[in-house]
Structure 1
Amino acid sequence: MKQIIIATKNKGKAEEFKVFFRPYHIEALSLLDLNENVSDVEETGSTFSENAALKSETISALFGCPVIADDSGLIVEELDGEPGIYSARYAGREKNDQKNIDKLLHKLNQIPDAQRSAKFICVLALSVPGQPTTFFYRILQGENRCKAIW
C-alpha cells in the first residue's frame, strides 16, 4: 500500500485525511503516527502558500516521501485582512480558539452588520521528492447573516 504523510498533529484532521485516502488504497499517516518526534515547522512565510510549502517541503525532505500540509485562515476585509495567516495565533502564540474569536469580535464591535464580510482561505501543498510542490486552493466567501437575539 502506498503511503503519504499529512503534516499535522491534529487528530481530527488526520482522521479526515485517512478516511479520504482509504478508497484509493493510500495509507495517510499523520505526524502523530510516526516513530520519530517531529518538531513543528515554524511558519515564517508571508502567505498561506508559503507556510503550507514550508511544512510540506521540510517534512518531505526529512522522510523522503510525499507530504501534504495546509495553511488556512480567515480574512476580514473591514479589518484590512486580519487575522489572515495569523488566524490560529491571533490572540497569542498559545493558539486558543476562544481567545481568537473574542479578539476578532471585539475588533468587529464597531463595524455595522451590513459591512461585515470575510473569506476563509485554505491552501494545501503537496510535496513529492524531486518534483515541484503542487498547490490546491479553496476560498469560501461569507457574510454576516447572524443577528443577535435579545
Structure 2
Amino acid sequence: MNKVVIASKNKHKLEEIKEILKGFPLEIKSMDEVGLEHLEIVEDGETFEENSMKKAVAVMKETGNIAIADDSGLEVKAIGNKPGVYSARFSGENATDEKNNKKLLDMLKDIPMEKRNARFVSVISVAFPDGRKIHVRGECEGFIGFEKRGESGFGYDPLFIVPKYNKTFAELGAEIKNKISHRAKALEKLKEKLGEVL
C-alpha cells in the first residue's frame, strides 16, 4: 500500500479526490492526519501548474510520502480570465465564498448571458519521493449565471452553469458533479498516469 498525502486543507477537495481514487491500492491521508495542519504553503505561482506542484513538493519533502496537490479556479473570459489563480482569495484577505461570488457578480453585472462564458480549471500534481513528478489538467466549460442557484458544492458552484444540464454545479449535486467537473477530468487523467507508474 502506497501512502499518499493530499496537500490540501479543503475538506471538499479531500472528499472529491478520495472518492475518485477509491479503486487504487493507496492509503490516502490528509495533511491533518500526518501532523501537517500548521504547514502554510504560499501560493505565489502565476499558473495553476506552478501552485499545485509547489504544494505537492512541499508536502512530499515534509512527509517523505507521495503527495498529491490540486490547484484549481475559475476563469471568466469577459474579465480577462479572472479570478484565475486568485479564485479562492478573489475578494481580498478575508475572502469567503459569499464575498467572492458577490464580487464576481458585481464585475459581470452589465455583461449579457452569451458573453458570460467561463471555465473551471483543475491542475493536479504528484510529487514522488524519488524525484518523479507528474501533473494533469482538467477543464469544464460553462457560463456564469446572474444569481446563485442550488445548495450543494462550494466556491463558485452556485454561479457556474453547465450548458448540457442548464443547471449550476450546486444544483447538480456531488454525484453528477464528480463525473463531469474539471477535477473529475483531471483525476481521470491522473488515474491513467498512476496506473502506469504504480
TM-score by length of 2: 0.69
- What CA distance in whole angstroms lies between the structure 1 residues aligned with 2:76 and 2:141? 10
Residue aligning to 1:119:
119
Residue aligning to 1:62: 62
- Deviation of 1:18 after TM superposition, in Å, equals 3.2
2:9 match: 9
Give the letter for the 1:66 counterpart.
Answer: I
Give the count of matched residue pairs: 147
Task: Quote the Cα distance in structure 1 between the aligned partners of 2:21 and 2:80.
Answer: 37
Q: C-alpha distance in 2, partners of 1:147/1:9?
A: 30
Partner of 1:23: helix, strand, or coil? coil
Q: What is the SS of the residue equivalent to 2:39?
A: coil
Gaps of 5+ in 2: 148-198
Q: Is the Cα contact below 8 Å between 1:72 and 1:120 reproduced in 2? A: yes
In structure 1, list runs of 5 or more residues that go unmatched. none
Bigger mean CA deviation after superposition, 32-41 or 64-73? 32-41
Larger helix percent: 2
Structure 1, 30-39 or 76-85: larger mean CA deviation: 30-39
**Residue identity matched to 2:41:** V
Question: How far is 1:63 from its partner?
Answer: 1.2
Measured against aligned partners, the alpha-carbon deviations of 1:84-141 in whole angstroms (never above 9, x if no partner) come to 0000000012230010000000000011112110011000000002233210100111
Q: Which amino acid aligns with 1:141?
A: E
- Provide the residue aligned with 1:131 in structure 2: 131
Check whether the contact 1:18–1:29 (CA below 8 A) recurs between aligned residues.
no
- Relative contact order: is structure 1 or structure 2 higher (C-alpha 8 Å, sep ≥ 6)? 1
1:98 aligns with 2:98: yes
Query: Could you tell me which residue of structure 2 aligns to residue 71 of structure 1?
Result: 71
SS at match of 2:33: coil
Specify whether residues 76 and 66 from structure 1 end up closer, same or farther in structure 2 by C-alpha distance, changes over 3 A only: same
Q: Is the 8 A contact 1:73 1:84 kept in 2?
A: yes
TM-score normalised over the length of structure 1: 0.89
Contact 1:73 1:87 in 2 (8 A): yes
Give me the CA root mean square deviation: 1.7
Structure 2 contact 4–65 (Cα < 8 Å) conserved: yes
